[in-house]
Amino acid sequence: MKVFDDKHIKNIVLVGGAKSGKTSLAETMLYEASLINRRGTVENKNTVSDFHEIEHERGISVYATPLHTEWRNYKINIIDTPGLDDFVGEIISSVRVADTCVMMVNAQNGVEVGTELVWNHVDKYRKPTIFAINQLDHPQADFEASLNSIREHFGNNATLMQYPYQTGEGFDSIIDLLKMVMYKFPKEGGKPEKLPIPEDQVDRANQLHNELVEKAAENDEQLMDLYFESGNLDEDHLREGIKIGMMNHELFPVFCLSATRNMGSGRLMGFIDNVAPSFSEMPAEQSEEGKDVNGKVDDPAVLFVFRTEYEPSVGKISFFKVLSGAVEKGMHLKNSTTHQVETINQLFVMDGRNRNPVDRLEAGDIGATLKLKNTDTNNTLHGLPDDIHIRPIKFPMSRFRTAISAKDPKDEERLAETLRKINEQDPTLKYHYSKELRQMIINCQGELHLATVKWNLEHVNKIEVEFHKPRIPYRETIQRSASTNYRHKKQSGGSGQFAEVHIKIEPYYEGSGDPQGFNIRGREVIDLEWGGKLEFFNCIVGGAIDARFIPSVLKGVMQRMEEGPLTGSYARDVRVILYDGKMHPVDSNDMAFQIAGATAFKNAFHEAQPRLLEPIYNVEVMVPEESAGDVMTDLQSRRAIIHGMDSKGRYSIIRAKVPLANLYKYSTSLRSLTHGMASHKSEFSEYASVPANIQEEIIAEASSEVTA
């Protein structure tokens, strides 16, 4: 396979809503370049990119798929991405390594929810962007409405490069405003005939061409001067101005397509070759050390791993972009995160499931290798003398939380290992076993995301699983002081057990000072792993309890702190004063004082006006203005406290504090309430008191679980 230099490599990512035609366009681009001899279709489940079984079953893209094509001495690396926000991790990692984004818009619907959500990530990275209005051959296609929706949502920088002569079933011609010709396609699609612009379109084409010239000229002072002098720009200067505008994120060319009929894709590929920026023209990558990685082929190799995938028959596949130098088969590179040296034993250019072996890839190219043991997504591999860390991809926080378990307890260990591999492949899925909740907790992007995880576990890894409503990590504390004593006495032949303790418990506050009326012999402040503090005072006088048993009492208290007296949740912010007790010269031992300390603490806790604390989350919802009222009403039904509301374009941003207990399946409800047009994010804020009536219900439920 030919080795391309950084000036002849174009990296594009196909993004947009579901069913906008990304996979069909990718297939057509490969066909146009003669890399495949027949075009597959999503319906026939034989496309190069959507090759996973789950994608065939669901009829949608689930994974980002790297492909490549060669067109007129340029290599175009293509990444076909999912169109649903549940798979946002696949989208973000692909946008991160692309040099140009091709945003697909369905001509039947214009800008859809998925388009807007993807745009937020494209806009964040300020990537050069092309809009491609697709499916113009559909009977309900509306080009003008689609164009207006693009400009309504993304601004007037969306600039026409071409427009259809007619839409619907008769679509077969495109008027190109850069070349000022009409492309007329044969019925079966493919190579078009170049024709003069029809007379009835000359005035419109000239007007739109002038608008394109003005838009291109305003991106560069020299071009603007040239435009003022001559009143026009030639095609080369037009391309130059368009490229500058794209790189400044101030001009978004708009193209016309019917990807399934192969109409317009060749012209789009030609534009990508001639105008879209190559890797060498893009700004240098930044390292976390603040250094530029300039991408020169003569520099030491620097690779950034942007995606990891596991295939049952192959194992671990690492996808990377060469940011500097060149990578060759057999090369040894250091991982700057793990400090391990990895050997690139195999080197591939990927086309879906097909691995094309190569010996060398130069700066700007995208490739893959197998079985890197100590390298994961976001790692940097390099041949530099000093470590360098390319700025990592920042994946969004999870929006959906649930508990998972294997139906067969024997599979629990294998389930944890499989979830680890899935997390390596998909960093937007998080999992951990909660000792506190006694559940394996999964955090992901939504129910569809969760459904794909379940499918992989059951179909690929043969682990039957079930999901459960996750428990809430409540905290228990007290509001007043209480005193009690407890005697533990057990005699069952031989040595018995005896211990008696007298304690007082109080709420703990920072700066509350020493307890009054006690002779303090020792004080220990424990920062609890689950938040809050335990302050323990030894106020024993006269040897009522031997010093060697004081730690035993504290250990017993800690045991009850780890399993709170109300619901079994962690207790926090309590101080315990041990001021008296009794012991037996034979029967007193460590275990007896542990039991006495734990039981005394439990009894005192119930007398100290206990209260339950619940986790509160900051929630931010971005919702179309017309749905803001419904969303606020729903939030208030979830015991939310609304803290503010701002506007961003046609969206309202609602900020609220919501109890975690009321956020279960919120992403599903929000999607239903707004027809999928809203998004939200949440993060932990604080613990706050549970209302008294709800506290009673929670305690009763916890008691019934214990009884059961």
The model's pLDDT over 530-546, given as tens digits with 9 standing for 90+, comes to: 999 999 999 999 889 99
- pLDDT of residue 568 exceeding 60: yes
In this structure, are residues 70 and 33 in contact, taking their beta carbons and an 8 Å threshold?
A: yes
CA distance 269 to 276: 10
What is the average pLDDT score of the chain? Answer: 93
**Average pLDDT, integer, range 625-650:** 92
The model's pLDDT over 194-229, given as tens digits with 9 standing for 90+, comes to: 999 999 999 999 999 999 999 999 988 888 888 888
**Average pLDDT, integer, range 664-677:** 90
In this structure, are residues 116 and 90 in contact, taking their beta carbons and an 8 Å threshold?
A: no
The model's pLDDT over 463-516, given as tens digits with 9 standing for 90+, comes to: 999 999 999 999 999 999 999 999 999 877 667 899 999 999 999 999 888 998
- pLDDT of residue 708 exceeding 50: no
- List, in order, residues 6 or more apart from 336 with CB less than 8 Å away: 379, 380, 381, 382, 387, 388, 389
The model's pLDDT over 63-100, given as tens digits with 9 standing for 90+, comes to: 999 999 988 889 999 999 999 889 999 999 999 999 99
CA distance 450 to 147: 35
- pLDDT of residue 114 exceeding 80: no
What proportion of the chain, given as a percentage, has pLDDT over 70? 99
SS3 state of residue 449 = helix
What proportion of the chain, given as a percentage, has pLDDT over 90? 78
Residues forming beta bridges with residue 624, ordered by sequence position = 651
- pLDDT of residue 306 exceeding 50: yes
- pLDDT band at residue 647 using 50, 70 and 90 as cut-offs: confident
- Determine the pLDDT at residue 567: 94
- Determine the pLDDT at residue 657: 97
CA distance 161 to 120: 24
- Determine the pLDDT at residue 707: 53
Structure tokens at 286: 């930044």
Sequence letter at residue 315: G
- Determine the pLDDT at residue 624: 87
- What DSSP state is assigned to residue 17? S
- pLDDT band at residue 617 using 50, 70 and 90 as cut-offs: very high
Q: Are strands 100-106 and 9-16 parallel, antiparallel or unpaired?
A: parallel
CA neighbor of 400 nearest in space, from 351, 446, 463: 446
- Determine the pLDDT at residue 117: 78
The string over 154-177, giving b where at least 16 C-beta atoms fall within 10 Å of a residue's C-beta and e elsewhere, is: beebbbbbbbbbebeeebbbbbbb
- pLDDT of residue 565 exceeding 60: yes
CA atoms 238, 244, 247, 248: torsion sign: negative
- Determine the pLDDT at residue 512: 84
- Determine the pLDDT at residue 5: 79
The model's pLDDT over 255-290, given as tens digits with 9 standing for 90+, comes to: 999 999 999 999 999 999 999 999 999 999 999 998
CA distance 121 to 164: 29
Q: What domains does the chain contain, in order, with CATH numbers?
A: 6-201+251-281 (3.40.50.300), 285-382 (2.40.30.10), 400-468 (3.30.70.870), 476-608 (3.30.230.10), 612-703 (3.30.70.240)
**Average pLDDT, integer, range 304-308:** 97
- pLDDT band at residue 644 using 50, 70 and 90 as cut-offs: very high
Helix 666-674 / helix 628-637 crossing angle, nearest 10 deg? 150
CA distance 28 to 24: 6
The string over 516-530, giving b where at least 16 C-beta atoms fall within 10 Å of a residue's C-beta and e elsewhere, is: eebeeeeeeeeebee
Structure tokens at 200: 């009835």
Cα 272 from chain centroid (whole Å)? 28
CA distance 618 to 366: 39
- Determine the pLDDT at residue 706: 59
